[in-house]
Amino acid sequence: MSRWPEHETVDWFQRLDVRALARAPGFPPGGWSEARAEGSSWSLAGNLVVEVVAAGEGTGLLLTQGSRSYGVVLELEPCHLGGVRPWFRCPASGCDRRCATLYLRGELFACRKCQGLTYPSQREDPAVRAFRRRDRILTRAGCEAGPVALATRPPRMWWSTFERLRTRAQCAEDEALALMLSSLGG
């Protein structure tokens, strides 16, 4: 049983990720600290056009989709060792939340909370989530995903590291099996 069965997930909608924009060739011109070149625009999936807009001290993006245009504030947070990290400010009315990804549901790109979206893992059965956690731990340990009993220590890994990861994977597997048993009424 999911926590929010009536909500749609983020995978179902078009997204605009500021990290993906930062990796796009030529976006923004001269890097984020120089992202004040007005008139620079990029066409993205569908009929979405993103244009860099500078207004006073701030930098923003103008999103144009069909005949509708609206602005999204782009906040540039300085990093500890230099450079800047870009964030969107949610353009939905009354939100102004800082986020890395905006989702298109209806006519407006907005944050996950404003759109009422959940992550797919929030809709998963707890036992499935525990098995996925076990597989992720085993993969990090250099083993194949599956039952912990079949896990073998990869070459060049310390025994103490392998045992610690194997114990964590075993706990996740035990939790998953207990959840499965309880759902069967046993």
Read off the tokens for 5.
């069965």
How far apart are alpha carbons 91 and 85 in whole angstroms?
19
pLDDT of residue 44: 62
> What are the start-end ranges of the E strands in 41-185?
41-43, 48-55, 58-65, 68-78, 84-89, 98-99, 101-105, 108-110
pLDDT of residue 168: 94
Provide, rounded to the nearest whole percent, the portion of the chain with pLDDT above 70: 78
**Buried b vs exposed e over 77-97: b needs ≥16 C-beta within 10 Å?**
eeeeeeeeebbbbbbbeeeee
Q: Other C-beta atoms within 10 Å of 1: how many?
A: 7
Q: Each residue of 17-44: pLDDT tens digit?
A: 888 877 776 665 445 545 444 455 656 6
Strand order across the beta sheet in which 108-110 lies: 14-17, 101-105, 108-110
**H or E element at residue 184:** helix 159-184
Is residue 1 predicted with pLDDT exceeding 70? no
Is residue 52 predicted with pLDDT exceeding 80? no
What average pLDDT does the segment 166-174 reach?
Answer: 93
Confidence of residue 153 (pLDDT cuts 50, 70, 90): confident
Q: Each residue of 85-129: pLDDT tens digit?
A: 888 889 888 898 999 998 888 778 888 888 888 888 777 788 988
What average pLDDT does the segment 146-150 reach?
Answer: 86
pLDDT of residue 159: 92
pLDDT of residue 77: 85
Distance of alpha carbon 51 from its chain centroid, rounded?
23
Q: In 95-158, which residue ranges form alpha helices assigned H by DSSP? A: 112-115, 126-140
Read off the tokens for 185.
């009424």
Provide, rounded to the nearest whole percent, the portion of the chain with pLDDT above 90: 18
> What backbone torsions phi and psi does residue 158 show, to the nearest 5 degrees?
-65, 140
pLDDT of residue 98: 93
**How big is the CA angle at 5 (ends 9 and 170), to the nearest 5 degrees?**
85
Q: What is the mean pLDDT of the chain?
A: 79
Q: Give domain limits for the chain.
A: 10-115, 124-184
